[in-house]
Amino acid sequence: MTVFILGYISYISILSFLEKDALVDHAFSVIEKLEHVLSTVIDAETGQRGFIITGEQRYLQPYDLTLQNIDNQLHELNIMTTANTDSPKVKNMINSSLIPLIQNKLVDLNETINLREHQGFNAALQVVLSDKGKRITDDIRTDITNMENEENNLLANRAKQLEAVGNNTIYTITIGILIASLVTALSIPLFRRSILIQLPVRTYLL
């Protein structure tokens, strides 16, 4: 019975370890997704600048790809951060700040692209030189940096929890093995004694 109980405790400890390990991986995934979102926004801005300078539609490909992908990326990020039950801060920042900023950025990019198409280079350049777009991009960078810092804090805490659970799991399994070995060692003499007690009886009967 003791060995069974220790085996069950070891099983629970291993499940807890795997759960904490998944949370550590999750934090890395959120940070990676945040970097991907920022990269997508920067790509759109790069496409806009190329188009303003050259007037050639082919430079708008990164911008067009951003329009196609950014909503899905933000949706995935929202779903991923829903799992952060130990800290809802990142999810709140996404909805209250990051998404509105990205929407404003896309509006700004679209405005300058339209100006370049219909009023020429100088009209679009005036908007670019106003630094409005740069300020929005800087705010997006700041938001993402703050969210990455929050995720890194979660990562550090989860790594500590993972280490503690890992140590407990190793300790529990080790104790289980020692007790199982002890029970086996004690059982062998009792088993031999039982056989020796029964041998004379069997001999007599023969």
For the full predicted model, state whether its pTM sits above 0.75: no
Residue 45, burial from CB neighbour count under 10 angstroms (0-12, 13-18, 19+): buried
**112, pLDDT greater than 80:** yes
Of 94, 113, 119, nearest in space to 38 by CA: 94
107 pLDDT above the threshold of 80: yes
> Which overall architecture, per CATH, does domain 25-169 show?
Up-down Bundle (1.20)
Which percentage of the chain shows pLDDT scores above 70? Answer: 68
Query: In this predicted model, what pLDDT tens digit does every residue of 54-65 receive, in sequence order?
Result: 999 999 999 999
Inter-helix orientation angle 2-54/61-82, to 10° = 160
Element containing residue 142 per DSSP (H, E): helix 132-205
Give me the residue label for tokens 């500590």. 160
| Alpha carbon separation from 77 to 73, 107, 152 (Å, rounded) | 6, 21, 16
Cα-trace Rg, the chain: 32
CA distance 90 to 96: 10
Q: What is the mean pLDDT of the chain?
A: 82
Task: State the pLDDT at residue 206.
Answer: 46
Helix (H, G, I), strand (E, B) or coil at 132: helix
| Nearest of 44, 49, 62 to residue 125 by alpha carbon | 49
The structure tokens 């056989």 sit at: 195
The residue ranking higher by pLDDT, 49 or 23, is 49
Q: pLDDT tens-digit profile of 113-162?
A: 999 999 999 999 888 888 999 999 999 999 999 999 988 888 777 777 66
Rounded distance between C-alpha atoms, residue 73 and residue 33, angstroms: 8
Boundaries of every domain in the chain = 25-169
